[in-house]
Amino acid sequence: MKEIIEQAFAESARVKHAFLRDYLEALTKAIDAIVAAFKSGNKLLLFGNGGSAADAQHIAAEFVNRFRIERPPLPAIALTTDSSALTSIANDYDYSHVFAKQVTALGKAGDVALAISTSGNAANVLAAIQACKELKITTIGLTGGNGGKMAGQVDHCLCVAEGRNAARIQETHILIGHVICELVDERLCPA
């Protein structure tokens, strides 16, 4: 049992270090985009399925409440939380529309969207990215493996490319989310 635990920790660390090696510049540009949006009075929209939905909610809460410092609330909306909107859209149209319709209703040019899909192939996430493009919303894709279809469709791709295991990809995603929160705070509210 101890060997399995040690292997999981080692793999998680390896995947995180590989992401940092390959995507540090892309992560910096994504953070710049979020800072610029907040400085201009725009918002951050976040969405994904399953564990990625939980990550979207988690990151949105860090911005709306606070992360590590006291600062004014920042406008971030997880499109995964409104059960009435999600179920009515899925029922009346199709599940692939649940995020795109919300993007169309709530988003505007100058906003930023953080699309999270471990595989990069979630149909509803891809549809929302397309809705963002139509509205001139900057897109950041948080994905894994080869990036899937998402990789070629977002403005800023943050791909956990070494990750072949969804758990290790998602562990890296939440670290990336926390780094984004910390650096956005630092840039907006320097000590």
pLDDT digits (tens, 9 = 90+) for 87-100: 999 999 999 999 99
The C-alpha atoms of residue 20 and residue 14 are separated, in whole angstroms, by 10
Residues 9-46 pLDDT 10s: 999 999 999 999 999 999 999 999 999 999 999 999 99
Task: Identify the domain containing residue 150 by its residue range.
Answer: 2-188
pTM of the full predicted structure?
0.96
> Which residues 6+ apart lie within 8 Å of 97 measured at CB?
89, 90, 124, 127
User: Token digits for 68?
Assistant: 């590590």
Residue with tokens 């400085």: 39
End-to-end distance of the chain based on CA atoms, in angstroms?
45
**Count of Cβ atoms closer than 10 Å to residue 72 Cβ:** 8
> How far apart (Å, rounded) are the C-alpha atoms in residues 106 and 186?
27
Phi, psi of 46 (to 5 degrees): -130, 140
Query: What is the number of structural domains in the chain?
Result: 1
Note the pLDDT of residue 191.
73
pLDDT of residue 107: 98
The pLDDT tens digits of the residues spanning 131-161 come to 999 999 999 999 999 999 999 999 999 999 9
Question: For helices 2-39 and 166-188, what crossing angle results, to 10°?
Answer: 40
pLDDT at 54: 97
Interval 66-112: pLDDT, tens: 999 999 999 999 999 999 999 999 999 999 999 999 999 999 999 99
What's residue 164's pLDDT?
79
CATH assignment at residue 48? 3.40.50.10490
The CA distance from 133 to 183, in Å, is 26
